[in-house]
Structure 1
Amino acid sequence: MWMRILAILLILGGWALGGTLIAWWLLRSGFDTITAILLGGVAPPFVFFILNALVGSSRRSDR
């Protein structure tokens, strides 16, 4: 049970850290504050899925 709680906390922590880094990068790139916050909150799972698909496809081609 506690492993599930730990896994959920790690996922949420990764989402928060990833969202913060994305929002910071968008602010530095000239986006306005609300856009950076909204994209930073929504983008981390999509970034993860894209990276996972890229890494997964390269691993499949290595076989």
Structure 2
Amino acid sequence: MLKFAQQLSEGRDVGLISVKLSNAITDYSLKNDFIIPKALSDLYAIAAKNAEKYRGIMSTNIWL
């Protein structure tokens, strides 16, 4: 989590950080039998929404 916060404070791409964060939370969830704190679940919902937008934009760039 700290790594992602530092990257955001450095001004890195929010979309890309959201993709990485949502993947990290998914990995954490899988390793912990899908039991995660509510705050982490809430953070995942936000990150996943931003990640979807980022993936959509990136795939559009590929097709055009």
TM-score, length basis structure 2: 0.41
Structure 1 or 2: larger helix share? Answer: 1
Larger Rg: 1
Query: Higher relative contact order at CA 8 Å, sep ≥6: structure 1 or structure 2?
Result: 2
